[in-house]
A = this chain, B = another copy of it.
Amino acid sequence: MRRKKKVIDDGIARATERRGIVIVLTGNGKGKSSSGFGMVARALGHDMRIAVVQFIKGAYATGEEAFFQRFPENVDFNVMGDGFTWDTQDRDKDIATVRRAWNKALSFLGDSDVDLVLLDELNIVLQLGYLPTEEVLKALETRPPMQHVVITGRGAPDPLIEAADTVTEMRDIKHAYRQGVMAQKGVEL
């Protein structure tokens, strides 16, 4: 274990570059969005400026929305996917909704005063083909160099994984709902 740690430490010691990074959180397991929101909390601890765009709105208000809306000077929180869910019958309407959300995201990706941009559930939108991945890649490439971007959602397309700095796949080993337990306030909602 000490040798393994040395290899990691050496890698970290060689890591001397400071720049904004792109983090992709994908896979079927629980924890992608909550991880993104944990980074928002971290960034708030450093008094950074944060923008959140949620591409898919759930059926009810969530704890994270209620909480982060309390800090309007630091967090610009945008729930854009009004009515958009991944089983809608109206593809054109959904694409228009996605486009509005993406335009909002673009305004943050062009603003060097924004330190961290969380694009929650964007991967699903890309997987469905509701927004071309190339547009996202181009915006990431041309964003302010110190800006961090976190992109969540299952099904991250390969070119996005290729372009990202850090990628975690969250594997669903087991989930409480399969044992008959409802989604629980605080941890899932």
Contacts and interface: CB of A to CB of B under 8 A. Distances in A.
Interface in A121-178: 148, 150, 161, 164-178
A148 B186 contact: yes
| Number of chain copies forming the complex | 2
Contact of A177 (B11, B178, B185): B11
A138 B34 CA distance: 27
Nearest to A8: B177
Q: Which of A15, A20, A116, A187 has the most CB of B within 10 A?
A: A187
A87 B2 contact: yes
A189 B42 contact: yes
B182 A16 contact: yes
Contact of A41 (B11, B17, B20, B40): B40
Contacts of A64: 38, 41-42, 45
Interface of A: 1-2, 5, 11-12, 14-21, 23, 25, 27, 29-46, 48, 62-68, 86-87, 115-116, 148, 150, 161, 164-189
Q: Which 5 A-B pairs have the closest CB atoms?
A: A45-B63, A34-B38, A45-B67, A42-B63, A37-B38
